[in-house]
Amino acid sequence: MKGAGTVGAIIRWARRRSPWVLHFNSGGCNGCDIEIVDTLTPRFDVERLGILKESSPRHADILLCTGPVTRQSRARLRRIYEQIPAPKWVVAVGGCSCSGGIFRGGYNVLGGIDQVLPVDIYIPGCPSRPEAIIEGILQLLETIE
Amino acid sequence: MNVELLLQALREVLSAPSLDAEYLPIDETCIAVPAECLRRAVDVLVGRFRVTHLSTITAEDTGLEIVLLYHFWDRRGLTLRTSLPRDGPHIASLARIIPGAIFYEQEVAEMLGVVFDGHPVAASLLLPDDWEGPPPLRRPTGDDV
Amino acid sequence: MSRITIPIGPQHPALKEPLSFLLTVEGERIVESALRIGYVHRGLERLFQDRSYVQNVHIAERVCGICSHIHTTAYCQGVEALLGLEVPRRALYVRTLLCELERIHSHLLWLGVLAEHIGFTTVFMYAWRDREIVLDIMEDLSGGRVAHAVNAIGGVRIDIENDHIPAIHARLDELERQMEMFLGVIQHERTFQARTRGVGCLTQEQVQRYCVVGPVARASGVAMDIRRDQPYAVYDELSFRVITADEGDVWARTMVRALEIVESMGMCRQLLDKLPEGPLASRAPRRVPAGLVISRCEAPRGELLYVIRSDGSDRPARVKIRTPTLPTLATLKDQLRGVHTADVPTILAGVDLCIACADR
C-alpha cells in the first residue's frame, strides 16, 4: 500500500522490519518444515529480525510454502493465499516447492508452488538450511520498498 | 507362536494337508492360502494363537494376478499370502476381527481396485475424493511381468 | 445442547502438517471426529517402481524428513537381504549410530512440539536448542542436519574418525545434563502434569485392536520393539532397556520417549566405544535377483516395514512401505471422544504424528 508522507513511510518501514510469516506445507516430507521451525528456536532466532510466525492468514505478510503441491492441497493453498491481505509475498522453501523436487511427475503431485501461486523468492535445498531460509527472507525484504 | 503347530491347525481347518511354509528374508515365515480361505486362516491365527498384530497388507498387481500379503507379527514375522484374479478382485474384509486392518484394506482398495467384502468404510484414504482414472498401482493392461 | 462441527486443518496452528479433522462438539466436549489424510500423498510407492534401486535410496530418505535415516536403513537392509550381501560390521555400527542419534533428535523435536501445544514455550525453545547438539553431531559426521545420505546399498558412505569420537562423547555429556532437566520437568512440574496426565488414554486392549506400535503402544504396556524382538544392524550387540509404562496417557508417552532418549544416548556411547575396524561397504550389483523381502526396523515412532519384491532387473517391481503413524491415526477417534476441545492439541501432539510418513 503506497501511503503518502510520514504515515506511508512508517508503514513501509514497519513492513520491512517486522514481516509476519505464515507457514503452509502443501505436501512436503517435513524436512523443510522442521528447518523453518528451527529458525524460530534459540540458535537462529528469527524473531530478532522481527519475523514472527503467525497462525492466521489474516495476520501474515509472507506465505512460506514447503513441499510440492499435491492434488488435495491445491485448493487450500490458493484459498489461504487469497485470505492474506495485500501486500503479500510468497516464498518457496526447498527443492520441492521450487519445482516439485524428487516427487515431480508423481501421479498426485502437480509440481512446485508456482503451479498455483506467484512465487517471489525460491530457496533451494533438500532440505533448505535455516541459514538459507533466513537469507532468502532477508533478500525478499530488500526487494520490498 | 510355533510355526509347526500353526501349520497343523491350518491344514486341519482349511482341509489342506499339503499346506506348508516357506521362509523369506528377513526371518519371515510365509504361508500361501487360497483367497476364499484367508478369513478362516486369520480366525485361527487370532482365535487360537492370539496373533493379533497385523503390520500391514501388501498388494501387488503382477500383470498376471493380484497378490495380497498379510504381514502379521508375534515376536517374529508371519506372512499369509494369497492371490486374486485381476478382473473383479474381491476378498472378505478382516475389519471385524482386526479393526487395525481397516486402513490397510482401504489403501489396497483405492490403490489396486480390490473390493473387501464387508469393509465398513467406502471413502478414499490417501487419494483425493475427485480422483479419476485407474487405481494408481495397477499395471496398464498388456503390461505383463 | 446443540452440536457444532469445527473443521481443523489442513492448515491450522495446531497442525504441523496438513491433515483434516471434523470435530463435532457439544459445548466444550468432543462428541465425534472424522479424519481425512492424503494431503501429503506423493505416490512414492509408484515412484519407487520407476527408479533404480540406487536412486530409490535418495527417495526413501525423503519419505519423511524427521526419520529419514531409518527409512533408508529399512530399504537398504531389504535390498541387501535380496542380494545376499554381507554388510561390513563397521558399516553396521555407523548405521546403528545414526539410527539412535535420529531417535534422539526426533524425540526431542517431539518434546518441543508437545510443550508448544500445551503453551509451555520455554520447554519448546530448550528442547529445540538442545536438539541442535544432536544435529551438530550428525552434521559433523555426514554433512547434513536433516538428510544425512549415510546409507548406501551394501553399507555406509561416511566414516567416523577415531579422534572425532571424544568430541561426540563430550556433546552427549552435554545432552545428558540437559535431559536431567527435562526429566525433572516431566516428572515434577505440576502444570505439565495437569495438562498431560489422564489425557488421551489408550488401554492395552485398544492398542492391540488397532495394531499400534512404538512409544504409544509401549506407553500402554505393549512391549513391542523390533530392536529387541528381531535385532537388525548391530542391536544384538548392544545392551538397552525397552521402556514401557502402564498409564497409557500423554504423560506416559512423554516419560517413555524421554527415557528412550537416555537409553539411546547409552547405545550411542556403546557404539562409539566398540566401533570395529573394517571396510565401510560391500560392493552391490545393480541388478537384484528375483525375490521378496520383508524388512522391519524400529523407527522413532515404531515398527517400520519395507516390503520389496524384485524381478531380477535393476528396478524394484514393488516397494510397500508401512509407517508407524498409520495405525496410531486409527486411534484418534477413540482418543478424542468425550474430551475437552482444549485437550485436542495435546492429544494430537501426544501421538507424535508424522503425516508425511503416513501419506507417503
Check: CB of residue C156 under 8 Å from CB of residue C150: yes
Closest residue by Cα to residue C297 from C358, C230, C239, C242 = C230
Residues C160, C183: Cα–Cα separation, whole Å: 30
Q: Domains for chain C: give ranges and CATH numbers.
A: 42-334 (1.10.645.10)
Check: CB of residue C30 under 8 Å from CB of residue C341: yes
> What is the C-alpha R_g of chain C?
20
Per-residue pLDDT of chain A (145 residues; tens, 9 = 90+): 555 678 888 887 877 788 899 999 988 899 999 999 999 889 998 888 888 888 888 999 999 999 999 998 899 899 999 999 988 999 999 999 999 999 988 899 999 999 999 999 999 999 999 999 999 998 988 887 6
Instruction: Give the tens place of pLDDT for each residue, C278-321.
Output: 999 999 998 999 999 999 999 999 999 999 999 999 999 999 99
Could you count the other beta carbons within 10 Å of the beta carbon of residue A16? 16
Give B131's contacts in chain A (Cβ within 8 Å).
71
pLDDT, chain B, mean: 89
Instruction: Give the tens place of pLDDT for each residue, B14-49.
Output: 888 888 899 998 889 999 999 998 999 999 999 999
- Whether A8 is in a domain gets the answer no
Check: CB of residue C248 under 8 Å from CB of residue C220: yes
Residues C15, C345: Cα–Cα separation, whole Å: 8
Would you state the pLDDT for residue C79?
95
Instruction: Give the tens place of pLDDT for each residue, C267-280.
Output: 999 999 999 999 99
Residues B120, B123: Cα–Cα separation, whole Å: 10
pLDDT over 90 at B139, yes or no? no
Instruction: Give the tens place of pLDDT for each residue, A51-84.
Output: 888 888 899 999 999 999 999 889 989 999 999 9
Say what the pTM is.
0.93
Residues C203, B134: Cα–Cα separation, whole Å: 40
- Whether A92 is in a domain gets the answer yes
Closest-approach residue (CA) in chain A for C9: A76
The total of structural domains in chain A comes to: 1
Percent of chain B residues topping a pLDDT of 90: 51
Closest-approach residue (CA) in chain A for B135: A107
Half-sphere exposure of C264 (CA within 13 A, CB side): 25
Would you state the pLDDT for residue C320?
95
Nearest to B103 among C77, C318, C330 (CB): C330
Would you state the pLDDT for residue A2?
56
Residues C173, C177: Cα–Cα separation, whole Å: 6
- Whether A10 is in a domain gets the answer no
Distance between start and end Cα atoms, chain A: 10
Would you state the pLDDT for residue C196?
92
Nearest to C146 among A25, A34, A80 (CB): A34
pLDDT over 70 at B145, yes or no? no
The CATH superfamily label for domain B3-87 reads NADH:ubiquinone oxidoreductase Nqo5 subunit (3.30.460.80)
3-state helix, strand, coil in chain C (%, to 5): 50, 15, 35
Residues A103, A95: Cα–Cα separation, whole Å: 10
A125: containing domain: 20-143
CATH value at residue A124: 3.40.50.12280
ipTM: 0.91
Check: CB of residue C212 under 8 Å from CB of residue B103: no
Closest-approach residue (CA) in chain B for A73: B128
pLDDT, chain C, mean: 92
Reported as type and span, the H/E element at residue B95 is none
Contact A107 B136 (CB under 8 A): yes
pLDDT, chain A, mean: 89
Nearest to C211 among B24, B53, B77 (CB): B53
Determine phi and psi for B80, rounding to 5 degrees.
Answer: -100, 130
The distance of Cα C79 from the centroid of its chain, to the nearest Å, equals 21
